[in-house]
Amino acid sequence: MMYSFTEEAVIKGDIDKIWAVATDVARWSEWDPHEEKSRIDGEFAAGTKVWVKPKGAPAGPFTIVAVEPGKSWTSEAGIPFGKLRGHRTYEALGDGTVRVAENVEIHGVFGPLFKLVWEKAMRADMPLTFAALEEEALRRG
């Protein structure tokens, strides 16, 4: 059993700067409105463990399972009786903007409960994170 949802936005900025901010895990809590703390245990690469403490939610680890530098990265985290997989993409549109998207997949029997309890809040939060990513990438210039 699996279900998924995707949110996307077009933000201003240079794709290389946006990628640099998006993959600077240690500094996520400085700009991402939903991250309280974050830590990466190594390089930003497949197989590396990341630990996050979202605001208002329990802390937990995930593993980076795929990275296509400058284009996308995918993570997986265990959830009861399944896994949560997040795939983030970054696409330069050629006019000083970048399409950013996050696809979330919930695998396993926990899916219906996840959808009922957390999906709405996650969907509401994603545009805030995309806007904050734009702002931070422009700020770091």
Q: Which tens digits make up the pLDDT trace of 49-98?
A: 999 999 888 899 999 999 999 999 999 999 888 999 999 999 999 999 99
Task: Record the pTM.
Answer: 0.94
Look at residue 87 in the predicted model and tell me its pLDDT. 99
CATH number of the domain bearing residue 95 = 3.30.530.20
Average pLDDT for residues 27-50, to the nearest whole number? 97
- Give me the phi and psi of 7, to 5 degrees please: -125, 145
Which residues are CB-neighbours of 57 under 8 A, at least 6 positions away?
Answer: none
Q: How much is the pLDDT for 31?
A: 98
Report pLDDT for 13.
97
DSSP 8-class letter at 42: S
pLDDT band at 1 (very low <50, low <70, confident <90, very high): confident
Please tell me whether residue 130 adopts helix, strand or coil conformation: helix
Question: Is the Cβ–Cβ distance between 89 and 101 less than 8 Å?
Answer: yes
| Containing structural domain, residue 93 | 2-140
Is residue 113 over pLDDT 90?
Answer: no
Around Cβ 3, how many Cβ atoms within 10 Å? 13
Give the count of domains, the chain: 1
Please report, as a single letter, which amino acid is at residue 26. A
